[in-house]
Amino acid sequence: MTLLTPIVRAFRSELLKCRRWSMVAGTGIMLVVSAFFAYLTFHQITSGVTGQEVDPLTHAFSTSLGLITVVGQARSFIIVVSLIMITVNLAAEWSQGTWRNLLVREPRRLPLLVGKMLALLLFVLGSMTLALVASSALILVTAGAQGVQTAAWTSVSGISAWFAFFGNEVLCLIGICLLGMLIAILTRSTGIAVGVALAYVLVPEGIIAMVWQEGSRWFPIRTFNFLPGSVFPADVGPIPPQGYTAALLTALVWMAVIVAGSFIAFRWQDINA
Contacts 24+ apart (CB under 8 A), 256-262: 258/175, 258/178, 258/179, 258/181, 258/182, 258/220, 259/178, 261/182, 262/113, 262/178, 262/181, 262/182, 262/185
Query: Which has the closest alpha carbon to 149: 64, 81, 224, 217?
Result: 64
Q: What is the arithmetic mean of pLDDT over 22-44?
A: 92
Residue 220 has pLDDT above 70, yes or no: yes
Contact 116, 122 (CB under 8 A): no
pLDDT over 90 percentage in the chain: 45
Q: Which residues contact 157 (CB under 8 A, 6 or more apart)?
A: 64
Going by pLDDT thresholds of 50, 70 and 90, the confidence category of residue 48 is confident
**Domains of the chain, residue spans:** 4-268
Q: What is the arithmetic mean of pLDDT over 169-198?
A: 91
Q: What is the arithmetic mean of pLDDT over 259-269?
A: 88
Q: Which residues contact 229 (CB under 8 A, 6 or more apart)?
A: 237, 238, 239, 240
- Mean per-residue pLDDT over the chain, rounded: 87
Instruction: Give pLDDT tens digits for 141-169.
Output: 999 899 888 899 999 999 999 999 999 99
Whole-model pTM over 0.85: yes
Query: Which has the closest alpha carbon to 226: 157, 176, 181?
Result: 176
Instruction: Give pLDDT tens digits for 75-133.
Output: 889 999 999 999 998 888 887 777 777 777 766 778 888 988 999 999 999 999 999 99
Report the pLDDT value the prediction gives residue 95, as an integer from 0 to 100: 75
Residue 1 has pLDDT above 60, yes or no: no
Instruction: Give pLDDT tens digits for 225-249.
Output: 999 988 888 778 788 888 899 999 9
